[in-house]
Amino acid sequence: MKLRFILALWAAKLSQPLLKITGHKGTNFPGELALKLCPEFLRYIAKPARIVAVTGTDGKTSVTNLICDMLEASGQRVLSNRAGANTNAGVSTCLLSGATIFNRTRFDVAALEVDERSAGRVYPYVKPQLIAVTNLFRDSIMRNGHPEFIASFLTANLPAESRLVLNADDLISSSVAPDNPRVYFGLDRLPTDVTDCINRLNDLRICPKCAGKLEYEYRRYHHIGRARCADCGFRSPDYDYEGKDVDLANMTITVADKSGSQTYRLLSDSIFNIYNLLTAVAVLREMGMDHQTIAGLAEKIDIVSSRFQAEKVGQVEVVMQMAKDRNALACSRAFDYVASRPGEKEILLMMNNLSDEVEWSENVCWLYDCDFEFLNNEQITHIVTTGPRGKDYNLRLRLAGVPEERISWARKEMDAADKLYLRPGSSVYILYGADNRSLDMGFRVREKVVKLAEEAGK
Amino acid sequence: MKIEVIYPEICNLYGDLMNAEYLARSCGAELVNTGLKEKPRFLSEKIPLVFMGTTTERGQELARDAFAPWLDGLKQRTRAGGLTLLTGNALELFGEYIQEEDGNRIPMLGLFPIHAERRMMARYNSLYLGKYGEMDIVGFKSQFSHSYGDNGEGLFTTTRGAGLNPGVKAEGLRWNNLMATYLVGPLTIVNPPFAKELLRLMGVEEPHLEFEEAAMDAYRTRVEEFSDPNRGFTYH
């Protein structure tokens, strides 16, 4: 087996410069090759002494990047699959790139994003000291089915020795692997919290223990909040790391734990990104960093620009907002965020999964779990739907109450940009999908919108 | 007029609930929800449509236990021609049992002579193209299990995709106006002609759907897409 591993290591290593020369950067091929030649490649590949993994439905790329950025800013050599290649092949590619040809690691710590469904192929060989689970929601129905299934899958596959950093505000993910050591983070009541669910997607409507009625002390969105069962008393766990005093005017949050509290700079005003920061702080605290050091590191970093990017072009603001396709939760959060932004805005709705279009035809069930109703907002004056599922978006928007006169449609994405009004003082939000083809298309459309906005501003 | 949604607190996956909402909005019916600990209203009231959607594996057992006392009432309703629509794995509740990978059999309500075989690590995802009479039916399958046994002519006749299981053409189950299909999600929205048929069966004389034109536009596009032999049909 050892000889097989060395052959796999060298062959996969050799493939990396070859891929670069041939212009095939950023693929999982080296990891796939290594696993093909040596199925237990992940067992033998050299790993940094400290490993932290991040998993969960939403936010794992952002949290991994935050952890990685802050650790790097602290001077540590950090190995990370930050681009989001999070399957066993992606993790193999990442660890391979961090090892020498003599199989010695060149890094102090690894921050790994691990896809939930890859847990069974990664964790038998990679044993992180810490695993953060951001949350569990209904994700792609094709891959994940429902969060109850993913929670049970994680419970069966997370290493028994890993300490878990869990979201106390999510009764699904906070219940995984009950025998593992754990700490909880959570965000104290916010002025915008409610008690009844206003979202279509609500993955936990009954007590996970006794099927009784859940009552929420406060609910942030969907099933996220603090709940207790009226029948059996089961309730959300207490916070070990409590986010509180969120101040959006000054963009700060306080994080308190048993050792004290610290004010942190917020990197974004969206609640989802506040949770992402809180998760990263909890992980770094568990890695032994003090609050003051982490707060200093947080000053030096930003969120990844491929997910959110705003730019003033002429008299129009052009905003790129990723809205993960096929994911009702991610799109609901993006819609809620966009609707809550001040000012008049137009939206270019193009979260089509263009890779699906090559393979088959996108399953659109998620549209009816998703809160398109947030887009029925007076300040959203115009929505352009486009791409292969443009007609489905059109119907869904109508059912959400958006008046017909506010909706335009163009089959081709590049033509959709021409439908925008680009009124002075307004914003244009381009909501684009997360698969590689959709990312590429999103940024091509952005270029055209920028050009049109420049011309309109002359 | 009322549409009763059975156990929406657990039978709510994949946008299935929108089926009942769309029909209700299209005919002005009142949507009434019946929870796990409640007695279904169709047992004592005139309910033109009873609907139950997809649930989790734990949800199937909860729903089975909750519904067992009312099964005879459903039989009576069905014999009398009452309309009931079951989508996704709600269909499996009315088979004889669900067999897990390790051979364990979970008893179900036994209304139909079929059983389901569950494979949690082999999720089946497919597009669907079929017929309801002369009507084209399009839809999506996304499931951990298939069912086997005698489903007669089923609810739909498969043109492309799997029937009750990949080996048969008859999709779903039908007994009088009790209709069950493995298709998940917004079945009535992506199939406006079928939605209008359901409204007719509910007693709506001249059914008209909300945003019917937009729905028909999307439907025609999808039928064309799914009929294209070069279009991939399964997700890997």
Start-to-end Cα distance in chain B: 43
Contacts of A202 in chain B (CB under 8 A): 12
CA distance B71 to chain A (A): 21
**Is residue B167 less than 8 Å (CB to CB) from chain A?**
no
- Number of residues assigned to chain A: 458
**Is residue A189 less than 8 Å (CB to CB) from chain B?**
no
Report the DSSP beta bridge partners of residue A347: A383, A429
Give the count of alpha carbons within 13 A of B20, CB side only: 29
Query: Residue B220 maps to which CATH number?
Result: 3.40.50.880
As a whole number, the mean pLDDT across chain B is: 97
Interface test with A, best of B10, B22, B58 (most A CBs within 10 A): B58
**Is residue A146 less than 8 Å (CB to CB) from chain B?**
yes
Is the Cβ pair B12, A202 closer than 8 Å? yes
Interface test with A, best of B5, B6, B13 (most A CBs within 10 A): B13
Both tokens assigned to A366: 């998620």
Is the Cβ pair B235, A395 closer than 8 Å? no
| C-alpha distances out from residue A149 to A110, A155, A382, B11, Å | 28, 10, 39, 15
Collapsing DSSP to helix, strand or coil, A254 comes out as: strand
| Homologous superfamily, domain A308-457 | Mur ligase, C-terminal domain (3.90.190.20)
The dihedral through the CA atoms of A271, A275, A281, A284 has a sign that is negative
CA distance B234 to chain A (A): 7
Rounded Cα–Cα distance for residues B171 and B214 (Å): 27
Both tokens assigned to A74: 């602290």
| C-alpha distances out from residue A176 to A136, A293, A304, B182, Å | 10, 30, 29, 30
Both tokens assigned to A100: 């020498």
Residue of A nearest to B140 (CA): A363
Are A363 and A139 spatial neighbours (Cβ–Cβ below 8 Å)? no
Interface test with A, best of B55, B190, B228 (most A CBs within 10 A): B190
Collapsing DSSP to helix, strand or coil, A409 comes out as: strand
| C-alpha distances out from residue A370 to A144, A269, B234, Å | 17, 22, 23
How much is the pLDDT for A309?
85
Are B7 and B55 spatial neighbours (Cβ–Cβ below 8 Å)? yes
Are B33 and A384 spatial neighbours (Cβ–Cβ below 8 Å)? no
- Residues B21-57: tens digit of each pLDDT: 999 999 999 999 999 999 999 999 999 999 999 999 9
Strand B145-149 with B114-118, pairing: antiparallel
| C-alpha distances out from residue A430 to A372, A450, B177, Å | 15, 11, 46
Residues 6+ apart with CB under 8 A from B226: A361, B127, B128, B129, B138, B160, B233
Both tokens assigned to A52: 């932290």
Both tokens assigned to A385: 């739907």
Number of Cβ pairs < 8 A linking chain A and chain B: 103
| C-alpha distances out from residue A38 to A42, A45, A108, B8, Å | 9, 11, 25, 48
The mean pLDDT value for B135-147 works out to 97
Residue of A nearest to B19 (CA): A368
Contacts of A141 in chain B (CB under 8 A): 13-14, 142, 184
Decide if B59 is inside a domain: yes
**Is residue A400 less than 8 Å (CB to CB) from chain B?**
no
* Residue whose pair of structure tokens reads 């041939």 in the numeric block: A22
Contacts of A365 in chain B (CB under 8 A): 14-15, 140, 142, 184-186
Decide if B200 is inside a domain: yes
CA distance B36 to chain A (A): 9
| Homologous superfamily, domain A2-188+239-298 | Mur-like, catalytic domain (3.40.1190.10)
Contacts of A146 in chain B (CB under 8 A): 13, 56
Number of domains composing chain B = 1
Is the Cβ pair A365, B185 closer than 8 Å? yes
Is the Cβ pair A364, B140 closer than 8 Å? yes
Contacts of B144 in chain A (CB under 8 A): 145, 149
Give the angle subtended at the CA of A401 by the CAs of A398 and A404, to the nearest 5°.
Answer: 50
- Among B65, B86, B89, which Cα is nearest to B145's? B89
The domain of B124 spans: 2-227
Is the Cβ pair A368, B210 closer than 8 Å? no
Residue numbers in chain A where pLDDT is lower than 50:
none
Are A94 and A79 spatial neighbours (Cβ–Cβ below 8 Å)? yes
How much is the pLDDT for A139?
87
How much is the pLDDT for A304?
63
What number is the ipTM of this complex?
A: 0.96
Is the Cβ pair B218, A363 closer than 8 Å? no
**Is residue B170 less than 8 Å (CB to CB) from chain A?**
no
Rounded Cα–Cα distance for residues A389 and A351 (Å): 9
- Residues A197-208: tens digit of each pLDDT: 999 999 999 999
pLDDT of B229 > 80? The answer is: yes
H-helix or E-strand containing A382? strand A380-386
Are B10 and A205 spatial neighbours (Cβ–Cβ below 8 Å)? yes
Is the Cβ pair A365, B236 closer than 8 Å? no
Decide if B233 is inside a domain: no
Both tokens assigned to A451: 């050009």
Rounded Cα–Cα distance for residues A363 and B235 (Å): 10
pLDDT of B138 > 60? The answer is: yes
How much is the pLDDT for A256?
98
In chain A, where the domains are located: 2-188+239-298, 308-457
**Is residue B33 less than 8 Å (CB to CB) from chain A?**
no
**Is residue B234 less than 8 Å (CB to CB) from chain A?**
yes
Is the Cβ pair A368, B15 closer than 8 Å? yes
**Is residue A325 less than 8 Å (CB to CB) from chain B?**
no
Interface test with A, best of B6, B12, B145, B231 (most A CBs within 10 A): B12
Rounded Cα–Cα distance for residues A354 and A440 (Å): 10
Nearest to A363 among B140, B215, B217 (CB): B140
**Is residue B15 less than 8 Å (CB to CB) from chain A?**
yes
Structure pTM?
Answer: 0.93
- Among B15, B9, B234, B16, which Cα is nearest to B126's? B234
Residue of B nearest to A200 (CA): B15
Residue of A nearest to B225 (CA): A361
Is the Cβ pair B190, A366 closer than 8 Å? no
- Residues A89-110: tens digit of each pLDDT: 999 999 999 999 999 999 999 9
Give the angle subtended at the CA of A232 by the CAs of A227 and A237, to the nearest 5°.
Answer: 40
